[in-house]
Amino acid sequence: MNAAAEVDTELTRDAVTGLPGRDAARVRLARWLGKGRQVHAMLIGLRRFDAVNLAYGSSAGDAALAEVAQRLKQFAASALDGNWLVARSGGGQFLVLSTEPCSREGWQLAAAQLLDVVARPIAGQGSTLRLSPRAALIRGLAEEDADSLLDRLGQALSRLMTHPGRRLLWADGEATRAGRSAVQLEADLLRALDGDEIEVVYQPQFACADDRLVGGEALARWNHPKLGRIGAAALFGIAERADHVAQLSTHIARLALTGARRWPMDLRLSLNVTPSDLASGNFATDFIALADACQFPLWRLTLEVTEQVLLADVAQAARMLDVLTAKGARIALDDFGAGFCNFRYLKLLPLHTLKLDRSMIDGIAGDPRDLAVLRAIVAMARALELKVVAEGIESEAQRALAAAEGCSSYQGFLRAKPMAADQFIAFATAG
């Protein structure tokens, strides 16, 4: 029997949609996680749903929610195998949970199809409603509890709702364990910035042609004295709520540049740039001064920008990046393929590299269409004189195909996991 048909009877169903509520979903999620199952989840939100109630009345809004619930159940029953659950999460939000074995790319495809189903017009009394659904996606981490998983989903959906053109967002990063409120964590972060709790680790990057080490990407971790290690996504989420993103970003850049200046001179450092960075009119000059103070030459640096970073003001971003490239830095468009792949960015920005999102790599060893997409992207990059970096390489087959198709370098757990500064130096100088 499907999990949707065996929801705990002691937990009531939502009067409007007939679906189990968030409490029922949490109970079922905790049960699955307690059994060591890999859980895939998506939190679906209806953007500007309040406007539906204002324009058409609450009864029309309730009818729309009931129709959405029915569509979600029908989709799950036809498209998801194994155990699944559809639940109401409150307001215009719904949870879809599944233990079906599924790749990251497969779950994203299912979410995209489901959003298309929800977005179909809903006929009402004398009117037709058109909803604007969004979905935050997650693959549960080992030993993560239900509250942490749902909290990460909620944060991702909140970020997604501020971007009118984007429909999907992965709630990536490491989980934070229970025991500290949001306010406490924000206060803890201020202390961490003044202490030694923020650490930078480096993900090695290798040449596709000969597996030669060519550099490393700096990744932030927060070694919280009570909660343990907190990953970069959660760390920046806390900083964003506390309005300390710029301070955190500068702190991480200083640590990364200082740690990498001891590397062999032929290795490059890759460093992520945040939206707050490029929103500052002084970012370029301030960063150049920081690199100079850290004695790190900009010609050894690659700054990675994502589509999210560019959405606010691509013209300003281009101006800032032009200043930095004039001083020798290189620019990579990160997570290429994860968003809408706005090709306008390829014309406006001083790019040197396309860095493929791991979702573009997951299926290349088993799906001819995925391989064809990779081949097309590499051909386009070659025509634009851009290098291609493959991210998320986890098998020899993926590495071999990325190399054969013309990717210049790769990173992933196949060769090495992120490592501390001293470990990276030892790794770089061994043999």
Q: CATH number, domain at 37?
A: 3.30.70.270
Q: pLDDT tens digits, residue range 7-57? A: 444 456 777 888 888 888 888 888 888 777 788 899 999 887 777 767 777
Q: Indicate if 188 and 144 belong to the same structural domain.
A: no
**Domain range for residue 162?**
3-170
89 pLDDT exceeds 80?
yes
Token pair, residue 139, equals: 């693959």
**340 lies in a domain?**
yes
Last residue of a domain, one of 148, 170, 192: 170
Residue 91 corresponds to which tokens in the numbers above?
A: 């307001």
What pLDDT sits at residue 2?
Answer: 45
Secondary structure string (H, E, C) spanning the chain: CCHHHCCCCCCCECCCCCCECHHHHHHHHHHHHHCCCCCEEEEEEECCHHHHHHHHCHHHHHHHHHHHHHHHHHHHHHHCCCCEEEEEEECCEEEEEECCCCCHHHHHHHHHHHHHHHHCCEECCCCEECCCEEEEEEECCCCCCHHHHHHHHHHHHHHHCCCCCCCEEECCCCCCCCCCCHHHHHHHHHHHHHCCCEEEEEEEEEECCCCCEEEEEEEEEEEECCCEEECHHHHHHHHHHCCCHHHHHHHHHHHHHHHHCCCCCCCEEEEECCHHHHHCCCHHHHHHHHHHHCCCCHHHEEEEECHHHHHCCHHHHHHHHHHHHHCCCEEEEEEECCCCCCCHHHHHCCCCEEEECHHHCCCCCCCHHHHHHHHHHHHHHHHCCCEEEEECCCCHHHHHHHHHHCCCEEECCCCCCCEEHHHHHHHHHCC
pLDDT number for residue 10: 40
CATH code of 329's domain = 3.20.20.450
Q: What is the dihedral of CA 29, 159, 90, 17, to 10 degrees?
A: -90
Mean pLDDT, rounded, for 81-89: 84
* 94 and 205 together in one domain: no
Please give the Cα distance from 431 to 323 (Å, whole number): 38
- 58 compared with 208, residue with greater pLDDT: 208
Instruction: Check whether residue 247 and residue 338 sit in a common domain.
Output: yes
Contact of 416 with 205, CB cutoff 8 Å: no
| Cβ–Cβ < 8 Å for 405, 390 | no
CA distance 18 to 12: 9
pLDDT digits (tens, 9 = 90+) for 357-371: 888 888 898 889 989
Q: Phi, psi (5° rounding) for residue 295? A: 60, 45
pTM over 0.95: no
- Reply yes or no on whether the pLDDT at 123 is more than 80: no
Percent of the chain with pLDDT over 90: 38
Pair (135, 50) in one structural domain: yes
Residue 18 lies in a domain: yes
Residues 120 and 83 in one domain: yes
Task: With a cut of 80, say whether residue 176 has pLDDT above it.
Answer: no
* Interior angle at CA 222, CA 218 and CA 228, nearest 5: 135
Q: What is the pLDDT of residues 231-247, one digit of tens each?
A: 787 788 778 777 788 89
One domain, residues 134 and 19: yes
In a domain, 176, yes or no: no
Q: Which residues contact 212 (CB under 8 A, 6 or more apart)?
A: 206
Residue with tokens 């007939």: 18
Q: Is position 177 within any domain?
A: no
Higher pLDDT, 228 or 28: 28
Best CA proximity match to 226, nearest among 276, 278, 179, 269:
179
Per DSSP, what are the bridge partners of residue 388?
354
Q: What is the CA radius of gyration of the chain?
A: 23
pLDDT of amino acid 1: 37
What's the mean pLDDT when you consider all of the chain? 85
DSSP β-ladder status, 122-123 and 128-129: antiparallel
Q: Is the pLDDT of residue 393 over 80?
A: yes
Within this chain, do residues 154 and 198 fall inside the same structural domain, yes or no?
no
The answer as to whether 253 is a domain residue is: yes
Our count of domains for the chain comes to 2
Asked if 282 and 314 sit in the same domain, the reply is: yes
Last residue of a domain, one of 139, 170, 201: 170
Least confident of 100-104, 290-294, 364-368: 100-104
127, pLDDT greater than 80: no
Are both 220 and 153 inside the same structural domain? no
**Statement to judge: residues 63 and 32 lie in one domain:** yes
Bridge-based pairing of strands 213-224 and 198-207 is antiparallel
165/186 same-domain check: no
Please check whether residues 276 and 347 belong to one and the same domain. Answer: yes
- pLDDT of 319 above 60: yes
Which of 116, 136, 170 is the last residue before a domain boundary?
A: 170
